[in-house]
Amino acid sequence: MKHGFIKVAAVTPRVRVADVEFNAKEIIAAFKQADKEGAKIIVFPELCLTGYSCEDLFLQEKLLSGAREGLLKIAKATKTSDALLFVGMPLCVEGKLYNTAAVLQGGEVLAFVPKRNIPNYAEFYEARHFMPGPVTADFLDLPEFGEVLFGSEILFDIEAIEGLSVAAEICEDLWVPDSPHIFHALSGATVIVNLSASNETVGKQAYRRQLVLSESARCICGYIYAAAGDGESSQDMVFGGAGLIAENGVLLEEARQLDSAVFDKTQIVLSELDIEKLLHERRKDTTFVPDAEADYLHVSLEMKKALTKLTRTFDAHPFIPSDEGERKERCEEILSIQARGLAKRLSHIGADKAVLGISGGLDSTLTLLVTARTFDLLGLPRKNITAVTMPAFGTTDRTYRNACDLTRALGATLREINIKKSVLQHFADIGQDPDKHDVTYENSQARERTQILMDLANQNGALVIGTGDMSELALGWATYNGDHMSMYGTNAGIPKTLVSHLVAYIADTTDDKKTAKTLRDVLDTPVSPELLPPTKDGKISQKTEDLVGPYELHDFFLYYMLRFGFGPEKIFRIAKMAFRGQYSDETIVKWLGNFCRRFFTQQFKRSCLPDGPKVGSVGLSPRGDLRMPSDAACTLWTEEVKSLSPKKK
C-alpha cells in the first residue's frame, strides 16, 4: 500500500444456477486465490451467490435462506483476512426483495448495498422480483448477521491509505443518466466497485469498456467491474464474464470468459490502483467539486500496511505513443499543433519570413521541419525561411553537412556565418583566455549565435524561431539569453524523447529519399551543444547525456513529477520497473538527484520563457502549467533522493 498503491481484483467465479452451496465454495476458493495474490478489494458479480439467472426462483424462501447461509460460510472463510469483499446476493428486508452487494471484511458482514436502478425490459425483467434499494443508509438488525448497514450512500474508508474510500453500485446503476457512482465520487469515493451480470451481444464489449473508462475519467476514480460468466443459464442469453479495472480513463486490466479458450473456469483479473495519483488529479481539477452536504455513512476499516507488489506496467517513454497503430495519427496531431501555433503568431504580426539557427542536431532539425510545414500552411514560399548555420569551435563536419543538406532539401534559404572571429574578439574584450574551456567559453558562443539571429530577423522583418525543447527547459540546459531566447519556441512543449520520435516519423514517411537519409543521420548523431572542440578525429567530444544524464530517464522523471505529483521515492520505484535491465538502481538514483536539483535551481530560465504551444498533458510555461517561484528550495526532494537505497523495492 506504500505510495498509494492497492491491489484489487475483479472475479468471475464458477457458478451453478440456484446451487448456493456450490457457489459459496467457489467464491471462497476464488477469494483465497485473490487474497494470496495480495488483493485487498475483491469484487464478485451480481447475484453470484445464487446465480443471476434464477428468475422466479428468487421468490422461493429456500433459495433466499440458502443465500444467507452461504454468505455466513463465506464470512467465516474470510475471518483471517483484512481484504474487503463485495459479493452479490438477494436479500429480503421487511418483506421486500433487493438485489444487493454484501460487503464483508475480517469474518464480518458489514453492510448490504442495494441496486438502485432495476431494469424492466426484455432481457432483464428484474422488476418482477426486486425493489429499487433505498438511497439513504441506515442500520438493520438481521437475525443471521446482527446489526448491519443497508442503503446506497455508504463509503468504506480504508485507513491504511489516505483518501482511499470505496463505494458500490450494481450493474444497471452504471448505465443510467444519474448513476450512483457520480454521487459516490463527489462524496469522497476514490474507488467504485460494480457487481454486474451484463450479458453478451454483438458490440457490447466495446461499449461496456468505453462506458467504464469514460466514467472512471469523469469521476477521477478507480473502477472495478466484475460480471457474471459461463455458469449462468444460457436459456435466452450468454454471460461473458467481463472483468475490467480502470483508473481515471485508463484501462489497467481486462478479461472476459467469452474470449477464453477454456469453459466454466474461475477468472480473476488483478491490478493495482494508485490512490495517491487519483487524489492529485482531483486536487488539480477545480471543476471536481466535492459535495460538502452529502449525507453518507462512513465505515472506517483497518488494513495492514504493506508494500503492494506491482503488476501494472509503467511506460519507460510516457510521452511517446505506445501503440504503433496510433503513431501516424499522434505524430500528425503534434506537428499540426506546432505548425498552427507558429502560423497564428506569424499571421498576427504580419510576418512572412522566419529565421532560425540550424546546427544539424535534433532540435533545430525538428524546428526547421515544423517551420516548413507552417509556411506551406500559410501559402508562403519556403525560401522565406532563413536557416543560419554558425560554425564555431565545436562544430563537426557531420553536423555541418546535415544542417546544409536538410536546409537545401526543404527549399529554405541557407546562410552561413562563421562566428569564430567575433567570439575571439569578444574574448579579447572581456579578458577571457581562449584556451580556458569553461562556462564563459561555451556560453559566449551560444549568445553570439542568438544575437546574430535576432539582428538578421530585424534586418528582414522576420521572426526568430526557437529550437530548444521541453527537456532542456526542465533541466535548465540552455544558455540564459542564448539559445534560451527566441521570438516563438515551437519545441517548448516537446520533450527530447518525443523530438526524436517526430523526426524519425518524418524520416519514415517522407517521399524524399535524400531528406530521409539526412534525418536518419541526424537521429544517429549524439546529442551535443557542440561548444567544445571536437576530438582529434573530428568527432563530437561534448555529449550532453554524459553530462546531465540520459534524456529518457529525465523525461520519465519529468512526466511523473509534474503530471501526477509523484515524489522521488515513488518515481524511483516505478523507474526501476520501467527500465529494468537497462539502468542500474545506482544510475537511476544518481540522475534522479541531478534532475531534482536542476529542476529547482533552473526555474529562473523558465520564468521568462518565450511563447510556444503546449502539446501534451505536461508543460513548463510560466503562463500555463508551471507557476513556480524561481527561488523555491529543493531540499525536500533532494533529501528524499539521498535516502533512497538501491536495495529498497
- 317 domain residue, yes or no: no
Is pTM, for the whole model, over 0.85? yes
How many CB atoms are located within 10 Å of the residue 57 CB?
16
Residues 234-239 have a mean pLDDT of 91
CATH (domain of 20): 3.60.110.10
Rounded Cα–Cα distance for residues 450 and 482 (Å)? 5
| For the chain, percent of residues with pLDDT exceeding 90 | 90
Q: What is the pLDDT of residue 501?
A: 95
Rounded Cα–Cα distance for residues 649 and 645 (Å)? 9
pLDDT tens-digit readout, 415-430: 999 999 999 999 999 9
Tell me: do 15 and 85 sit in the same domain.
yes
Q: What is the pLDDT of residue 532?
A: 85
Our count of domains for the chain comes to 2
Tell me: do 232 and 121 sit in the same domain.
yes
| For the chain, percent of residues with pLDDT exceeding 70 | 99
pLDDT at 261 over 90: no
- 39 domain residue, yes or no: yes
Q: Provide the pLDDT confidence category of residue 453 given band limits of 50, 70 and 90.
A: very high
- 308 domain residue, yes or no: no
- 565 domain residue, yes or no: yes
Q: What is the pLDDT of residue 530?
A: 77
pLDDT tens-digit readout, 42-61: 999 999 999 999 999 999 99
Which of the following is catalytic: 40, 115, 496, 576? 115
Domain end: 301, 332, 351, which one? Answer: 301
pLDDT tens-digit readout, 123-166: 667 889 999 999 999 999 999 999 999 999 999 999 999 999 99
- 33 domain residue, yes or no: yes
Tell me: do 374 and 252 sit in the same domain.
no
pLDDT tens-digit readout, 197-233: 999 999 999 999 999 999 999 999 999 999 999 999 9
- 513 domain residue, yes or no: yes
3 state SS of 305: coil
Among this protein's residues, is 115 annotated catalytic? yes
Tell me: do 42 and 90 sit in the same domain.
yes
Residues 246-272 have a mean pLDDT of 95
Longest dimension (CA), the chain: 101
Residues 577-583 have a mean pLDDT of 96
How many CB atoms are located within 10 Å of the residue 69 CB?
14
Rounded Cα–Cα distance for residues 13 and 195 (Å)? 12
Alpha-carbon dihedral sign for residues 86, 92, 94, 98: positive
Which of the following is catalytic: 171, 221, 331, 596? 171
- 49 domain residue, yes or no: yes
Tell me: do 296 and 344 sit in the same domain.
no
Tell me: do 501 and 576 sit in the same domain.
yes
Q: What is the pLDDT of residue 359?
A: 95
Its domain, for residue 590, covers 324-643
Closest by CA position to 35, among listed 83, 91, 75: 83
Domain end: 269, 301, 333, which one? Answer: 301
Tell me: do 284 and 349 sit in the same domain.
no
Tell me: do 407 and 286 sit in the same domain.
no
CATH (domain of 618): 3.40.50.620
Q: What is the pLDDT of residue 647?
A: 55
Among this protein's residues, is 552 annotated catalytic? no
Average pLDDT, the chain: 95
Grid coordinates representing 276 are 495517491
Q: What is the pLDDT of residue 527?
A: 87
Tell me: do 258 and 339 sit in the same domain.
no
pLDDT tens-digit readout, 492-516: 999 999 999 999 999 999 999 999 9
Among this protein's residues, is 608 annotated catalytic? no
Tell me: do 97 and 49 sit in the same domain.
yes
Tell me: do 272 and 334 sit in the same domain.
no
pLDDT tens-digit readout, 617-636: 999 999 988 999 999 999 99
- 307 domain residue, yes or no: no
Tell me: do 142 and 269 sit in the same domain.
yes
Rounded Cα–Cα distance for residues 283 and 337 (Å)? 28
Do 6 and 41 touch, CB atoms closer than 8 A?
A: yes
Q: Provide the pLDDT confidence category of residue 649 given band limits of 50, 70 and 90.
A: very low
